[in-house]
Chain A
Amino acid sequence: QVTLTESGPALVKPTQTLTLTCAFSGFSLTTSGMRVSWIRQPPGKALEWLARIDWDDDKFYRTSLRTRLSISKDPSKNQVVLKMTNMDPVDTATYYCARIPDSWGQGTLVTVSS
């Protein structure tokens, strides 16, 4: 059974860096073809894909956020970490990690406010 669980701060201040961790089980990111993405959903709005890391350590980012995002993995811990710098109130959203399309975490709400 595949599970993913996001963790991180519920509240960050503007200009701070957000660090989110995705702990997963049921698959290995060392297996060919495995990928983990981060997606966010502002309250009442559509889903927005942010970044993806692949089994071979290829990394892909949303172009508009490329300079603010960093994704990494620790296969030994079955974890993927997303960092987003210079947080702004418009970044307030529920952040999901997922092995698209079939397995998603429950999401973690991050509020950006001073």
Chain B
Amino acid sequence: DIQLTQSPSSLSASVGDRVTITCQASHDIAHYLNWYQQKPGKAPKLLIYDASNLEPGVPSRFTAGGSGTQFSFTITSLQSEDFATYFCQQYDNLPLTFGPGTKVEVK
């Protein structure tokens, strides 16, 4: 199975801050990575697909990049509605696997 690790596991930030999360894969997964946002009691929401493509309707303050084993996800200017948990997911191989998540909290 391909393991995904995320860093940090949590962070505290303020509105307007730039926030960056990293996701590392245990094997080369090319660009087969998605990023999601999840709020308590809600289903995951797709933000980024294919490592760097913004899902339609998602604000442009969300960006991401990377390939192979190293990926990053950035919120360029944090908004109040962005306090949530973010996680990566690979689809290069089954089983699909998810990162453990990064909780973005209010500073």
Contact = CB atoms under 8 A, between A and B. Distances in A.
B95 A49 contact: yes
A98 B44 CA distance: 10
Contact of B91 (A46, A60, A63, A101): A101
B91 A52 contact: no
Contact of A63 (B49, B95, B100): B95
How many interface residues does chain B have, given as a range?
Answer: 20 to 34
B87 A49 contact: no
Contacts, number: 47
B95 A62 contact: yes
Given A101-B46, A104-B43, A47 B91 contact: no
A96 B34 contact: no
Is chain B's interface secondary structure helix, strand, loop, or mixed overall? loop
How many interface residues does chain A have, given as a range?
Answer: 10 to 19
B96 A100 contact: yes
B97 A49 contact: yes
B84 to A, nearest CB: 14
Nearest to B96: A49
A1 to B, nearest CB: 12
A102 B55 CA distance: 8
Interface in B2-46: 34, 36, 42-46
Contacts of B36: 101
Contact of A52 (B46, B55, B94): B94
Contacts of A47: 44, 87, 89, 98
7 contacts: A37-B96, A47-B98, A62-B95, A63-B1, A100-B91, A101-B46, A101-B91
Interface of A: 37, 39, 46-49, 52, 60, 62-63, 96, 98, 100-102, 104-107
Given A39-B96, A49-B95, A102-B46, 12 more contacts: A46-B100, A47-B44, A52-B94, A60-B95, A62-B95, A63-B1, A96-B43, A100-B96, A101-B36, A101-B46, A102-B49, A104-B44
